[in-house]
Amino acid sequence: MDMDTVSSNNWADQSNNPLLQRILKFVAACRRVDMEGEYPHVGDIQWWFSDTAVADPAHWHFWQDAQGKDIGVCLAEGKDIQTIAHPTAKNDQLIAAMHLWGKEHLADLARTSGQSEFEVNEEVYSDIPASIERVEAEGFTRTATYYLRYRRNLDGTLFSPELPEGFMIGHMDGSVSVADRARLHRDSFYPYSSKTLDLAIAKYQRVMQLPGYDPALDLIIFAADGTLAAGGICWMDRENQIGLFEPLGTRPAFRRLGLATALMAAGIRRLQARGADSAYATAVHAADETTTPIPQDFTVSQLVFQAVGFKLVRKAYIYRKTYPV
């Protein structure tokens, strides 16, 4: 099989980013063949691309078949390796080639920066035991953190949760500045968000340039005094009629008021109006804080998803190994 490395491109206009368009086309094609498979949603890919490091073509590598059709792609950046194989071409040889390239790329980055070792994180899934067997055989250790993948069919009725008095749902209709929206996101996910407000604003500006970004699906809940209390983005895979919630967050002062549940209910209706027949969401598992570095405030989203009818599809475990350079 032939391998093709993406060349450098101009990243000023994300809507015309050839690397992004290529990946979006590929993941949509994977989903079209295997609707229940563990493939990133086109919204996942776009949210990743709000990170300039992820958007660097040097960290991506494609594999093609004899006809020049993409059959696999690997992202190796930071400490993470993400691989995507087309369901009709997935085999042990392709999987091994992608992981080998990812580890060699991270080793090269570590060597260039003068490190003596580098860490690799790989995500494997509870319903793919062969992947778990592979990483454990290679000496990876499972970490305490894992993610819950949820899915909901959108063909049923949906209750309408009541907001606290004075609160209302809106979206990025031009009345909210990018700075205020970025500040909402940063506050909702701190300390896991951008380190400074300037960085948060720059990130959100990139988000709004993405081809799948729809201001009407960038939902906001306003408090009675106009404060932005909660927000979340919905993404639409129009080819496969599947929605996604990524990200969804509430400012600390407004948590435990049912805002996220109301936000998701509104998002589901807007996705339905655009033809979506299902939607996905991801939660961090709720664990004792002594065994995971993630505070409980960031692990209750699964309760929100369950409240609006999402069902658990699979768990995504994080495995880790340190290699010498």
Residue 26 — φ and ψ, nearest 5°? -70, -50
pLDDT band at 11 (very low <50, low <70, confident <90, very high): very low
Residue in this structure with the two tokens 């998002």, named with its chain if needed: 267
pLDDT band at 144 (very low <50, low <70, confident <90, very high): confident
- What tens digit of pLDDT does each residue of 184-228 get? 999 999 988 999 999 999 999 999 999 999 999 999 999 999 999
Instruction: Say which residue, 13 or 230, is predicted with more confidence.
Output: 230
- What tens digit of pLDDT does each residue of 40-65 get? 999 999 999 999 999 999 999 999 99
pLDDT for the residue numbered 13: 59
Please tell me whether residue 237 adopts helix, strand or coil conformation: strand
pLDDT for the residue numbered 4: 41
- Whether residue 319 lies inside any domain: the answer is no
Do 249 and 166 lie in one domain? The reply is yes
- Whether residue 207 lies inside any domain: the answer is yes
Do 167 and 222 lie in one domain? The reply is yes
- What tens digit of pLDDT does each residue of 115-129 get? 999 999 999 999 999
Asked if pLDDT for residue 290 goes beyond 70, the answer is no
Containing structural domain, residue 17: 2-115
CB contact at 8 A, 145 and 190: no
Do 67 and 161 lie in one domain? The reply is no
pLDDT for the residue numbered 156: 73
For residues 280-295, give the mean pLDDT.
67
pLDDT for the residue numbered 301: 81
Question: Which tokens is 238 given?
Answer: 């129009």
- What tens digit of pLDDT does each residue of 158-177 get? 778 889 999 999 999 999 99
Do 110 and 160 lie in one domain? The reply is no
Asked if pLDDT for residue 315 goes beyond 60, the answer is yes
Question: Which contiguous run of DSSP H or E holds residue 218?
Answer: strand 218-222
Instruction: Say which residue, 12 or 89, is predicted with more confidence.
Output: 89
Using the Cα atoms of residue 123, residue 23, residue 276 and residue 217 in order, give the sign of their dihedral.
positive
pLDDT for the residue numbered 189: 93
Residue ending a domain, choose from 57, 84, 115:
115
Do 182 and 236 lie in one domain? The reply is yes
pLDDT for the residue numbered 292: 55
What's the number of domains the chain is made of? 2
Q: How far apart are CA 319 and CA 124, in angstroms?
A: 7
- Whether residue 214 lies inside any domain: the answer is yes
In whole angstroms, how large is the CA radius of gyration of the chain?
20
Do 102 and 171 lie in one domain? The reply is no
Do 165 and 268 lie in one domain? The reply is yes
Do 184 and 96 lie in one domain? The reply is no
Do 80 and 168 lie in one domain? The reply is no
CATH number at residue 49: 3.40.630.30
Q: How far apart are CA 160 and CA 303, in angstroms?
A: 17
**Helix 197-209 and helix 178-189, axial crossing angle in degrees, nearest 10:** 110
pLDDT for the residue numbered 182: 98
Do 169 and 111 lie in one domain? The reply is no
pLDDT for the residue numbered 289: 41
**Secondary structure letter of residue 105 according to DSSP:** H
Q: How many C-beta atoms lie closer than 10 Å to residue 11's C-beta?
A: 17
pLDDT for the residue numbered 128: 92
User: What is the full DSSP assignment across 16-79?
Assistant: G-HHHHHHHHHHHHHHHH-TTS----HHHHHHHTTSTTTT-GGGEEEEE-TTS-EEEEEEEETT
- Nearest partner of 96 among 130, 126, 68, judged by Cα: 130
CB contact at 8 A, 142 and 316: no
- Whether residue 325 lies inside any domain: the answer is no
Do 34 and 102 lie in one domain? The reply is yes
- Whether residue 126 lies inside any domain: the answer is no
- Whether residue 321 lies inside any domain: the answer is no
Do 110 and 194 lie in one domain? The reply is no
Residue in this structure with the two tokens 């250790």, named with its chain if needed: 141
- Whether residue 120 lies inside any domain: the answer is no
Residue ending a domain, choose from 115, 132, 164:
115
* Mean pLDDT, the chain, integer: 91
CB contact at 8 A, 279 and 152: yes
The β-bridge partners of 245 are 234
pLDDT band at 10 (very low <50, low <70, confident <90, very high): very low
CB contact at 8 A, 270 and 234: yes
Residues 6+ positions from 191 with CB-CB distance below 8 Å: none
> What is the value of pTM for the model shown?
0.91
Q: Which amino acid is at 230?
A: A
Asked if pLDDT for residue 263 goes beyond 60, the answer is yes
- Whether residue 29 lies inside any domain: the answer is yes
